[in-house]
Amino acid sequence: MDDCIFCRIVEGKIPARKVYEDEHVLAFHDIAPQAPVHVLVIPKVHVRSIMELEDEGLAGKIVTGIRNVARELNLDEKGFRVVNNMGQDGGQTVFHIHFHLLGGRTLTWPPG
């Protein structure tokens, strides 16, 4: 989609600080980090939200990507948080499904 910022990042039209990439998933640093480590993990195909994620295989590939990023950034032993915002009330601002991987410090609850 030409108007989707994340699709444009996948296409290389907008630069991003990539952390991980495979055939199905791209992960890059968030431009407004909320923790010492704040990475966005997205599928390379456009899916608007978790409510439109019908491909269970893609869902598994996203989770595998999240796990690989957590290992790459040494978050796997101490822990991390994965957040998906869905819809306007859920705080979704970019309508391309994405997961926030947050870590590098103790995270409190509730998140906000």
Q: What is the mean pLDDT, run by run of 10 residues, along the chain of 112 residues?
A: 92 97 98 97 97 96 98 96 96 97 94 68
36-64 pLDDT per residue, tens:
999 999 999 999 999 999 999 999 999 99
The CATH architecture to which 5-103 belongs is 2-Layer Sandwich (3.30)
pLDDT the model gives residue 112 = 59
Q: Which of 29, 38, 96, 98 is catalytic?
A: 98
98 an active-site residue? yes
pLDDT the model gives residue 110 = 86
pTM for the whole structure: 0.95
Closest CA to 2 of 44, 42, 46: 46
> Domains of the chain: which residue ranges?
5-103
Instruction: Determine whether 10 is exposed, middle or buried from the number of CB atoms within 10 Å of its CB (0-12, 13-18, 19+).
Output: buried
What are the residues facing 59 on neighbouring strands? none
